[in-house]
Amino acid sequence: MMKAILLRLSSVVAASIVAGAVAATACNSGDTGPAGSPSPNTTPALSPASTSTRSPSQTAALSALPATPAARRPLALPELAAALRAGGYVVLFRHARTEQPGSPAFTDDSPNLDINDCSTQRPLNDDGRADARAIGVEMARLALPFARVVSSEYCRAKETAMLAFGRDEPLAGLDANAPADTLRSLISTPLAAGTNLAIVAHATGIRAATDLILEEGEAAIIAPDGAGGFTVVARVKPREWTLVR
């Protein structure tokens, strides 16, 4: 009889020890207390779903905030459409392809160049005009918002802009031999949300302002940083605009 009582007592003691150990472990591991509330000594881990407590109206308000300054990380071609639709970017083109030495239609920029006389300037060739028109088709397909389209005063730059965008604002500061100050200022100035700036310029000015060497018709996608600088986030050749979705 006494042996049975002792065995029963030892079982109760052992159960109490195990229960205490389990409770201590729960406190250290973040288990919940009564009614599923967090243990007072722990911080509950948040699941991805529980980290957002925004209402639909708050989410809509945040999405409407200005997108400027634009994202300054590298962008792949499939990402560009969404980024450019949000706005805040400069799309800097070198003019489209031109006639080269050896072509019957080649005319180099004359020492007596007249900015109003295209016969004194190197012109676009047929391939360049086709490239510019193809860019225009893609711009229309993508419905990208451009507040301004500016170019140099040279005929090849103005023609590229007109074929691609159907409009143009010539600026003397973007001419082939002009200092790079105008271009540098344009590509470093933040833009309003929902708008972009298109520029058609020349190899000399582009290289002086950005250190980039663009092919004829190629574009650099540039994000002004709001502090007088900029970041090149992508480059797009004329026929690569079809890859932008």
- Strand 230-236 and strand 219-224: the pairing is antiparallel
pLDDT in tens, 45-54: 323 333 334 4
> Considering only CA atoms, which of 218, 200, 210 is closest in space to residue 154?
200
- Please, what sign has the CA dihedral across residues 145, 206, 239, 119? positive
Separation of alpha carbons 220 and 189, rounded Å: 16
Determine the Cα–Cα distance for residues 147 and 217; give it in Å rounded to an integer.
21
Q: Is 2 helix (H, G, I), strand (E, B) or coil?
A: helix
Give the confidence band of 126 by pLDDT, cuts at 50, 70, 90. Answer: very high
Of the options 3.90.180.10, 3.40.50.1240, 3.40.50.300, 3.40.50.11820, the CATH number for the domain spanning 67-243 = 3.40.50.1240
Q: What is the mean pLDDT of residues 193-212?
A: 97
Tens-digit pLDDT profile for residues 64-115? 444 445 667 899 999 999 999 999 999 999 999 999 988 888 888 878 899 9
Instruction: Tell me what pLDDT residue 245 has.
Output: 87
Percent of the chain whose pLDDT exceeds 70 = 71
Q: Does residue 159 or residue 25 have the better pLDDT? A: 159
Q: What is the pLDDT of residues 138-155, one digit of tens each?
A: 999 999 999 999 999 999
Task: Domain ranges for the chain, please list them.
Answer: 1-33, 67-243
- Average pLDDT of the chain, as a whole number: 79
**The model scores a pTM over 0.75:** no
